[in-house]
């Protein structure tokens, strides 16, 4: 059964509004968000918008940084304002009617990234919106390769001593080479659930391209597809419900008896699909017990098992359902059809081996379907809306000077997706004559379009709501959406900026509940991380490095030390704990969840820090995530000591520990005393002659990047 909080029991939360102003400056406190980052957290192909200087200039209006009260100005003379109290931002009143916020598409998806995402934190789908055939690529957030691992290596202490000696001697290139022996094994990989495929009976009719529409409505978390075939209009609706834990699809037609299609469930994973009764397809399968090798063999360990059930219902008045090939269902001559998909797995936490799991995914999926058996489509949709809008409608962003201004009136169709003149330059290559969101992004460099910024901001909030909820797994590198058995970078949580970035919008964008999955995951990481800290580094507390997986991997992965040998992953995540308290003022959370994790993190940092020759406490070895440098001897290296990234994070964690202790009355504890003493001895961040913050402190280094990561902005 679903163990998350009942979203329908959560009280109504006031609406938070960010609006434009003619003032060029504003005072604020305890607020931070970046509209660009909110979207970039989940979208990898964002260069169309964000690489253009003018686009960046327009986005400057959205930059509100976490800090004490201060002032800022923007060239566009727009500012976001948030009234505050001693407890943080005061939330605005809820608006009566939300602005239309729709991501519009010009046709069916051609690629995975063209499809429209839906999700409830656990169950996700990418909706392609095809006409003759439809594809929903499905995901369930606990489907991963592998089993719990051993994240310790007793050989590390001796290697660590050698690496530290090389760093002390200034042999940074040699230290980088030696540090490879500090690394561990690969992480596991996130998997897909499968494909829901529909083939429609349109062979004898003509599809009218100009009638096609596909949109993702952010206000309702609903995808809609519409088109005409012959003289019949067809429509589909899709949503993924958190309260009822089901993906729902409705198909209807303007004329009776015209809904006909064949539906099936398939997967790239080992599976077996079959029809149960007269209206259900059951797909049972398993994830690989280890990272997918060239061939899966019978000696591999047992992986996570899964089950997905598709339930099909058609109109009572007309239509038939028949069985094809024992694994497909064929609908003929119905007025409408409703498809409901549930899924479950045998995953029972990161410490339980799948071979020892007591969970029965088929029985759990059957129970999930039975719990909504008597709910109509309207009831399912009402539950979905009530839950989703309780989160989404808390915040609105308005950047327009006036709703009646000429520029606003000219852009209104861009928001709603209403048809506009096909001579519009934005419509080149778009046969439907409608301006799509992709068209607007392409023209953003030259056209004023504050609506697009509003849309992108809310799209980021939508993605976060859709991929992280109480009781779910943490949002991974792709949220929850994935089509591959071997996804890029394993689609694994990366803690050298990606996972943090996923959750930065939670608090300033009034989605605190969406961060609960992160804190639950931190608790799991601390269990494995305590063993890694003890065995690998002879340290107390717990440590996590740059990359993890559903099994809460805490040791370094294999590969290059430029990314893998970074012991600050858990520490950076811990900064979210104190930040959460500052926004919510939830003392029970601080006492029971946050402080124990902060305490363990601080213990590790105290033991990880060593005294340098000048008396400062420093980290050694130390890397700046995914960045290398040219050592004084001219050789490339990535390992040195006390990088600015390390020291900035440690300073923030220690400050959070002391502040939390003051709130909880723990200021006289031995830990707090040691942290306060260490704070005064931390190596200062180095400032260059030109006043810039230096990334490395070892002097005279010419940095070059090994990736496009911007994690180093943390220290700024």
- From 492, 580, 517, 497, select the one nearest 185 (Cα to Cα): 492
Q: Are 683 and 622 in contact (CB under 8 A)?
A: no
For residue 632, the model assigns a pLDDT of 84
Residue 709 scores a pLDDT above 80: no
Tell me the C-alpha distance between 541 and 528, whole Å.
11
pLDDT of residue 51: 29
The pLDDT score that the predictor gives to residue 204 is: 61
Per-residue pLDDT at 661 exceeds 80: yes
Task: Summarize pLDDT for 230-241 with one digit per residue, the tens.
Answer: 889 999 999 999
pLDDT in tens, 289-323: 998 665 556 677 899 999 999 999 999 989 999 99
At 438 the pLDDT is 94
Distant-in-sequence, close-in-space partners of 612: CB < 8 Å, separation ≥ 6 = 618, 620, 641, 642, 683
More confident of the two residues 259 and 707: 259
Higher pLDDT, 91 or 661: 661
Domains and CATH numbers, the chain: 7-97+394-467 (no CATH), 102-144+190-392 (2.70.98.50), 156-187+487-715 (1.50.10.10)
The two structure tokens encoding residue 504:
């930065």
Identify which of 50, 46, 67 has the alpha carbon closest to the alpha carbon of residue 59.
50
Does the structure show a pLDDT above 80 at 6?
no
Q: What pTM did the predictor assign?
A: 0.85
Confidence of residue 712 (pLDDT cuts 50, 70, 90): low
pLDDT at 409: 34
Quickly count: other Cβ atoms within 10 Å of residue 169's Cβ. 10
Tell whether the model's pLDDT for residue 715 goes beyond 70.
no
Structure confidence at residue 296 (pLDDT): 57
Tens of pLDDT, residues 525-536: 999 999 999 999
What pLDDT is attached to residue 97? Answer: 60
User: What is the model's pLDDT at position 424?
Assistant: 30
Percent of the chain exceeding pLDDT 70 equals: 78
Summarize the confidence of residues 416-440 as an average pLDDT.
51
Question: What's the pLDDT score for residue 90?
Answer: 34
pLDDT at 75 over 50: no
Whole-angstrom distance, CA of residue 389 vs CA of residue 394? 8
Residue 125 CA to residue 467 CA, distance in Å, equals 11
On the question of pLDDT at 185 being above 50, the answer is yes
Binned at pLDDT 50, 70 and 90, residue 699 comes out as low
- Helices (H), ranges, 128-239: 156-168, 172-178
Average pLDDT over residues 681-704: 82
Q: Please write the tens of the pLDDT for every residue from 580-599.
A: 999 999 999 999 999 999 99
pLDDT score of 84: 38
| The predicted structure's pLDDT at residue 16 | 61
Cβ-contact 581, 663 below 8 angstroms: yes
- Per-residue model confidence as pLDDT tens digits over 358-406: 999 999 999 999 999 999 999 999 999 999 999 999 999 999 764 433 3
Residue 14 has pLDDT above 80, yes or no: no
Q: What is the pLDDT of residue 24?
A: 26
Reported as a single tens digit per residue, the pLDDT across 597-609 is 999 999 999 999 9
Summarised one tens digit per residue, pLDDT across range 616-659 is 999 999 999 999 999 888 899 999 999 999 999 999 999 999 99
288 pLDDT higher than 70 = yes
According to the model, what pLDDT value does residue 340 have?
99
Tokens of residue 428, six digits: 């080149």
Mean pLDDT is lowest, of 71-75, 407-411, 611-615, 709-713, for 71-75
Q: Three-state SS for 691?
A: coil
Given a cut of 50, whether residue 201 has pLDDT beyond it is yes
Average pLDDT for residues 31-49, to the nearest whole number?
37
Q: Which two tokens stand for residue 638?
A: 């990535």
The three-class DSSP label of residue 138 is strand
Average pLDDT over residues 501-518: 98
Give residue 297's pLDDT: 63
Over residues 687-712, mean pLDDT: 69
The pLDDT value recorded for residue 328 is 99
Q: What is the pLDDT of residue 302?
A: 92
pLDDT of residue 64: 28
DSSP track, 328-370: EEEEEEESEEEEEEEEEE----TTS-GGG----HHHHHHHHHH
Q: Using omega within 30 degrees of 0 as the cis cutoff, is the peptide bond preceding 539 cis?
A: no
């Amino acid at each position: 059964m679903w163990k998350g909080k009942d979203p329908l029991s959560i009280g109504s939360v006031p609406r938070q509004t960010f609006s434009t102003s003619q003032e060029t400056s504003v005072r604020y406190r305890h607020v931070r968000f970046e509209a660009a980052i909110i979207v970039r957290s989940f979208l990898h192909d964002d260069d169309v918008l964000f690489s253009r200087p003018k686009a960046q200039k327009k986005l400057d209006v959205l930059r509100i940084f976490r800090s004490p009260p201060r002032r800022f100005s923007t060239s566009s003379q727009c500012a976001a304002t948030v009234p505050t109290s001693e407890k943080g931002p005061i939330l605005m009143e809820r608006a009566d009617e939300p602005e239309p916020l729709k991501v519009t598409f010009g046709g069916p998806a051609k690629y995975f990234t063209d499809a429209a995402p839906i999700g409830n934190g656990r169950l996700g789908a990418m909706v392609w919106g095809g006409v003759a055939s439809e594809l929903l690529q499905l995901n369930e957030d606990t489907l991963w390769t592998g089993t719990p691992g051993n994240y310790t290596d007793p050989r590390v202490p001796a290697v660590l001593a050698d690496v530290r000696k090389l760093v002390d001697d200034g042999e940074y290139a040699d230290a980088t080479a030696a540090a490879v022996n500090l690394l561990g094994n690969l992480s596991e990989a996130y998997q897909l659930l499968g494909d829901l495929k529909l083939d429609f009976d349109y062979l004898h009719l003509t599809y009218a391209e100009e009638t096609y529409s596909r949109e993702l409505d952010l206000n309702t978390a609903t995808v809609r597809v519409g088109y005409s075939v012959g003289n019949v209009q067809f429509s589909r609706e899709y949503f993924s419900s958190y309260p009822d834990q089901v993906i729902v699809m409705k198909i209807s037609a303007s004329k009776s008896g015209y809904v006909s299609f064949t539906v099936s469930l398939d997967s790239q994973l080992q599976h077996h699909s079959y029809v149960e009764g007269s209206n259900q397809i059951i797909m049972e399968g398993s994830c690989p017990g280890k990272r997918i090798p060239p061939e899966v063999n019978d000696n591999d360990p047992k992986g996570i098992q899964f089950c997905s059930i598709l339930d099909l219902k058609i109109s009572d008045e007309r239509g038939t359902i028949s069985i094809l090939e024992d694994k497909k269902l064929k609908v003929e001559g119905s007025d409408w059809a409703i498809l409901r998909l549930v899924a479950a797995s045998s995953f029972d936490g990161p410490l339980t081996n799948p071979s020892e799991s007591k969970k029965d995914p088929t029985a759990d999926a059957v129970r999930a379907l039975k719990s909504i058996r008597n709910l109509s489509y309207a009831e399912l949709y009402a539950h979905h809306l009530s839950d989703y809008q309780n989160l989404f409608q808390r915040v609105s962003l308005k950047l327009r000077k006036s709703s009646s201004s000429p520029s606003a009136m000219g852009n209104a169709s861009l928001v709603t997706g209403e048809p506009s003149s096909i001579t519009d330059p934005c419509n080149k290559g778009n046969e439907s004559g409608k301006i799509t969101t992709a068209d607007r992004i392409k023209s953003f460099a030259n056209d004023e379009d504050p609506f697009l910024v509003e849309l992108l901001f809310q799209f980021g909030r939508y993605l976060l709501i859709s991929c992280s909820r109480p009781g779910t797994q943490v949002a991974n590198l792709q949220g929850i959406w994935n089509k591959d058995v071997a996804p890029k970078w394993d689609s694994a949580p990366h803690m050298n900026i990606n996972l943090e970035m996923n959750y930065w919008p939670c608090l300033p964008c009034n989605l605190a509940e969406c961060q609960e999955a992160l804190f639950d995951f931190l608790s799991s990481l601390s269990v494995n991380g305590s063993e890694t800290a003890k065995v690998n580094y002879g340290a107390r507390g717990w440590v996590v490095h740059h990359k993890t997986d559903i099994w809460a991997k805490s040791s370094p992965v294999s590969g290059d030390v430029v990314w893998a040998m970074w012991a600050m992953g858990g520490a950076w995540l811990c900064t979210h704990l104190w930040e959460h308290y500052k926004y919510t003022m939830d003392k029970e959370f601080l006492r029971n969840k946050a402080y124990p994790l902060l305490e363990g993190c601080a213990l590790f940092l105290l033991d990880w820090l060593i005294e340098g020759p000048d008396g400062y406490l420093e980290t050694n070895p130390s890397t700046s995530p995914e960045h290398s440098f040219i050592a004084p001897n001219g050789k490339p290296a990535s390992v040195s000591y006390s990088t600015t990234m390390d020291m900035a994070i440690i300073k923030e964690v220690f400050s959070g520990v002391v502040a939390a202790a003051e709130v909880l009355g723990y200021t006289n504890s031995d830990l707090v005393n040691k942290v306060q003493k260490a704070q005064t001895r931390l190596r200062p961040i180095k400032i260059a002659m030109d006043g810039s913050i230096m990334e490395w402190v070892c002097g005279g280094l010419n940095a070059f990047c090994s990736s496009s990561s911007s994690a180093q902005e943390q220290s700024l």
